Amino acid sequence: MAEVASNGPTPASTTSSEPVPLDTIPVSPDGAVTDATNGATNGHSDGKIVTVFDDPANFNVKHALQNTWTLWFTKPPSGKQDWSELLKEVITFDSVEEFWGIYNNITPASELAQKSDYHLFKSGVRPEWEDPQNKHGGRWSCTFKSGKANDSTWLDVMLAAIGETLEDEGDNEVMGVVINIRRAFWRVGLWTRTAGQAPKKGSAAAEEGQDKELGKKRLEKIGKNFKNYLQLPETEQVEFSGHADSAHSGSSRAKAKFAV
């Protein structure tokens, strides 16, 4: 194994079982940060692949993600508190290294208190039905009875989101992913920009001749990808519901519009 020089900033430990404060995570080390892609989209530039070992002392090579993501946390209510009082923005990141720095130092889903949620959303989108970029959208979701999902279920879904493998290029549907920790179950969700409705008159999609059926097919394909990452057997389904219905009923358990 390559030897890593001992001088330079020490990254937060990844082996400690104690969660460390987020502001100690070396997500933005001092000094210049090397973009591992060197501005190229495939990680190669001039035929050279840059890895963390190019500068092991400073630990400052970053592999850029296609999008910038923000982690949010909903804390369990203590008494009567509004949804918006409980929802907290945690941290924003845009590289693979930052993702792992954060993931390895926050409380795993399995250790969260009941009624907590993690939300991982594209930067600039609040994980709420009311956000302008969500309000016409919906959610694929899957409920796992206690013990039927674990930390890797949530990790796989986050990696699929930040790795942009849930949708086809140009779909521009995925807004974020969510895990709800509840007494008797975990619910994993994938939020989309649309909900299978006909495109608005005059919109780019309408002008391209896209119709309701096409929108629904696009969402179903995303639902199937989601189901694969959740490793669900063919006999189980993930369900899609619209945020407008959830907002109307005041509950996330709005009636499913379709399932795959």
Sequence length of the chain is: 260
In this structure, what token pair is assigned to residue 222?
A: 């995303």
- Give the residue with the Cβ less far from ligand MGP, 16 or 249: 249
User: Within 220-249, which residues bind ligand MGP (CB under 6 A)?
Assistant: none
Residues 6+ apart with CB under 8 A from 48: 38
Q: Which of 14, 21, 241, 258 is nearest to 134 (CA)?
A: 241
> Which member of 7, 17, 78, 251 binds ligand MGP (CB under 6 A)?
251
What is the rounded distance in angstroms from the CA atom of residue 20 to the CA atom of residue 39?
A: 32
> Which member of 237, 252, 258, 259 binds ligand MGP (CB under 6 A)?
252
Instruction: Sort strands 44-45 and 34-35 into parallel, antiparallel or unpaired.
Output: unpaired
The CB-of-115 to ligand MGP minimum distance in angstroms stands at 7
Q: Between 73 and 92, how does the x/- string for binding to ligand MGP read (CB under 6 A)?
A: ----------x---------
- Give the residue with the Cβ less far from ligand MGP, 48 or 183: 183
Nearest-CB residue to ligand MGP? Answer: 252
Position 253 contacts ligand MGP (CB under 6 A): yes
Which one of the spans 19-27, 125-133, 202-210, 213-221 is the region binding ligand MGP (CB under 6 A)?
A: 125-133
Position 128 contacts ligand MGP (CB under 6 A): yes
SS (H, E, C) 213-247: HHHHHHHHHHHHHHHHHCCCCCCCCCEEEEHHHHH
The CB-of-116 to ligand MGP minimum distance in angstroms stands at 10
- Give the residue with the Cβ less far from ligand MGP, 130 or 168: 130
Residue 7, φ and ψ in degrees, nearest 5: -80, 175
What is the rounded distance in angstroms from the CA atom of residue 210 to the CA atom of residue 165?
A: 23
The CB-of-90 to ligand MGP minimum distance in angstroms stands at 17
Position 141 contacts ligand MGP (CB under 6 A): no
Position 129 contacts ligand MGP (CB under 6 A): yes
What is the rounded distance in angstroms from the CA atom of residue 146 to the CA atom of residue 184?
A: 6
Count residues near ligand MGP (CB under 6 A). 10
Position 250 contacts ligand MGP (CB under 6 A): yes
Residues 6+ apart with CB under 8 A from 9: 26, 29, 30, 58, 59
Q: Which residues bind ligand MGP (CB under 6 A)?
A: 83, 128-130, 180, 182, 250-253
